[in-house]
Structure 1
Amino acid sequence: MYIVPEQEIADLMTRKAAFDAVEKVFAAMAAGDAYNFPVVREAIGHEDALYGFKGGFDRAGLTLGLKAGGYWPNNLEKRGLINHQSTVFLFDPDTGKVKAMVGGNLLTALRTAAASSVSIKHLARKDAKVIGMIGAGHQAKFQLRAALEQREFEKVIGWNLHPEMLPNLQEVADEAGLPFEAVELEGLREADVIISVTSSFDAILKVDQVSPGTHIACMGTDTKGKQEVDPQLLVTADVFTDEIAQSVSIGEAQHAVAQGLIKEADVAQIGAVINGTNPGRTSDGQITLFDGTGVGLQDLAVAASVVERAVEAGIAIEVDF
């Protein structure tokens, strides 16, 4: 068994490698070559923590495994640790033996950013120039860095419930040599691409705050009750997602479906656009929305990639297990 510790991930995994892994597994899912297992997510009654498992099997890539972990909200204040903690375990699909144990914290951030980046590549207008951000926390920086690689953006605008966090977005814009402007939500009409990455349980972005032709990537809703955008936006937009079952149950589409505004059949897989079986964007005036719920196969794909890189670099720790 190989072990790749968390502290080695940053030097091994690139945004491009994460993008390629996620794009490939989304395509495999849409082709029926990969599937996710049911998600387990529980409040454990200790430290206010949420703990769970996400897993799946990719027949095309022969990747089998799970990510175990969750959210410990007191970590940062009490222990100086990040609140999200996870580890990925990979197994040999031929024998069932464990193949690898991989630190999952940075990989989770990279694979989440890669998913919205994949959606921008395949659904945003080619001439998109302004990118808007809703949310300015730790994950938002990963999202923005990945997104800026997909189009020739000329400006970054952003809104956050707590404006004192907006320098996080300014930092990434400065890295890219782009101007940054803090805006009110109405100012997001200027954006050609909008990424929302919050932990909100109330709709933030409304229909009249989105211009025709915009691509929206909703990346924060991954639990029943969470919500980042007005359900009417899912009526106005063409909706795509990583996994339809998750989108309509714990993702952004859960509210529009529950209210009878759209049906499950109105939600398409982003993998079908990648594979060319769904046309995706068909006009410059079309609003597209990607509901990134986060699936176990994303974690397995990036973990398998980093194990391969670690072995090649001689960094992976090999143990007899």
Structure 2
Amino acid sequence: MNDLSAQAPKAAQAGNTVTIVPEAEIAGLMTPEAAFDAVEATFAAMARGDAYNFPVIREAIGHADALYGFKSGFDRESLALGLKSGGYWPGNEARGLTNHQSTVILFDADTGRPSALVGGNLLTALRTAAASAVSIRYLARQDAKVLGMIGAGHQSAFQMRAAVQQRSFEKVVGWNYHPEMLSRLADTAAELGLPFEAVTLEELGAQADVIVTITSSFAPSLLDAHVRPGTHLACMGTDTKGKQEVEAGLLARARVFTDEVAQSVTLGEAQHAVAEGLTSADDITQLGAVINGTHPGRTSDQEITMFDGTGVGLQDLAVAAAVVRLAREQGVASQVVL
């Protein structure tokens, strides 16, 4: 018999079932609390050496002014394997779409076969906010009362909601390049039952105990002179070569933590301080080391701590894997056979 398909092993002939969780289902499945837990566990696994990210690919595609790329990795502990594909399309808002577009693809770590396709837009917002929230939980002063927000884009509301769960904040102060957008911060603060004040950067630094920066700036807005001792900063906007939210000198004065050191010094906030010789990779600590108890984190109430949140693929895989489990449990996932 010369029928090759008949000779093939049955397992090879069998279809592969892939779970699909569309973007529309994510809001009903993934909570900020679940995102926090997934990201916290990922940081800890990375610091133990149980999980690692692959090199990031991020390119301007020469069409629609878009940036497109891949983030991927593997967690040997949870067996999360996969990638997030997507980027930034600045013209999408005019089309009624989100400028940031992403999709997560998960693979079976035992066979390499695709196991899930998950809408990644909301998940990206939730995991980014969770990352800064984890840094606040482990690094901010316990008596922090004023939250400072720099940036009022779509992500800022997620950041504020996640941050206020970590300390007993009594007030939010905010600044944005475009003041007309500050209503988003004011509305979110009101939703959370907190007063909001629009301030200058000098006033923000003078008042805030915790500062979250979430802009797409290529020039620093927050200066070293603006930040007082004891502040914790979560710098979440710099994830590409050339971007910068804070003055490089601030990293020389602060104790700096990050999700992944290699990304921090090449495409994160630390890239500029390294280029100017103000700091080096050896001066930066993985946040997971604090979570695991192998690094003390903040050592005094006067110390400035900074989290350089570059965003790693393992965070995306962790929240996607969690949402796939929830979707299967609640019967809202679709399944197709490839």
TM-score, length-scaled by structure 1:
0.99
Deviation of the 1:14 alpha carbon: 0.1
Deviation of the 1:185 alpha carbon: 0.4
Alpha-carbon distance in 2 for matches of 1:255, 1:84: 25
Equivalent position SS for 2:111:
coil
Deviation of the 1:226 alpha carbon: 0.4
Q: Is the counterpart of residue 82 in structure 1 residue 98 in structure 2?
A: yes
Match of 2:53 in 1: 36
Deviation of the 1:243 alpha carbon: 0.3
Structure 1: stretches of 5+ with no match in the other structure: none
Match of 2:210 in 1: 193
Match of 1:206 in 2: 223
Residue identity matched to 1:43: A
Q: Is the counterpart of residue 218 in structure 1 residue 232 in structure 2?
A: no
Flag as ranges the 4+ runs of structure 1 deviating above 6 A. Answer: none
Equivalent position SS for 1:113:
helix
Alpha-carbon distance in 2 for matches of 1:174, 1:232: 34
Alpha-carbon distance in 2 for matches of 1:137, 1:44: 24
CA RMSD of aligned residues (A): 0.6
Match runs of 1:299-310 below 5 Å: 299-310=316-327
Structure 2: stretches of 5+ with no match in the other structure: 1-17
Alpha-carbon distance in 2 for matches of 1:253, 1:45: 28
Equivalent position SS for 2:109:
coil
Alpha-carbon distance in 1 for matches of 2:72, 2:147: 32
Match of 2:285 in 1: 268
Deviation of the 1:318 alpha carbon: 1.3
Match of 2:182 in 1: 166
TM-score, length-scaled by structure 2:
0.94
Deviation of the 1:235 alpha carbon: 0.6
1:273-321 alpha-carbon deviations (Å, 9 max, x no partner): 0000010001000000000000000000000000000000000111112
Q: Is the counterpart of residue 124 in structure 1 residue 177 in structure 2?
A: no
Q: Is the counterpart of residue 9 in structure 1 residue 37 in structure 2?
A: no
Match of 2:63 in 1: 46
Residue identity matched to 1:260: G
Alpha-carbon distance in 1 for matches of 2:288, 2:316: 16
Q: Is the counterpart of residue 290 in structure 1 residue 307 in structure 2?
A: yes
Deviation of the 1:48 alpha carbon: 1.1
Alpha-carbon distance in 1 for matches of 2:183, 2:323: 31
Equivalent position SS for 1:41:
strand
Match of 1:144 in 2: 160
Equivalent position SS for 1:12:
coil
Residue identity matched to 2:299: T
Alpha-carbon distance in 2 for matches of 1:263, 1:53: 26
Alpha-carbon distance in 2 for matches of 1:275, 1:200: 33
Q: Is the counterpart of residue 102 in structure 1 residue 118 in structure 2?
A: yes
Alpha-carbon distance in 2 for matches of 1:162, 1:203: 15
Residue identity matched to 1:255: H
Deviation of the 1:207 alpha carbon: 1.4
1:238-277 alpha-carbon deviations (Å, 9 max, x no partner): 0000000000000000000011011110000000000000
Deviation of the 1:68 alpha carbon: 0.5
Alpha-carbon distance in 1 for matches of 2:328, 2:295: 37
1:92-138 alpha-carbon deviations (Å, 9 max, x no partner): 00000111000000000000000000000000001100000000110
Alpha-carbon distance in 2 for matches of 1:16, 1:38: 28
Alignment size in residue pairs: 320
Deviation of the 1:15 alpha carbon: 0.1
Alpha-carbon distance in 2 for matches of 1:215, 1:288: 5
Deviation of the 1:26 alpha carbon: 0.5
Deviation of the 1:172 alpha carbon: 1.1
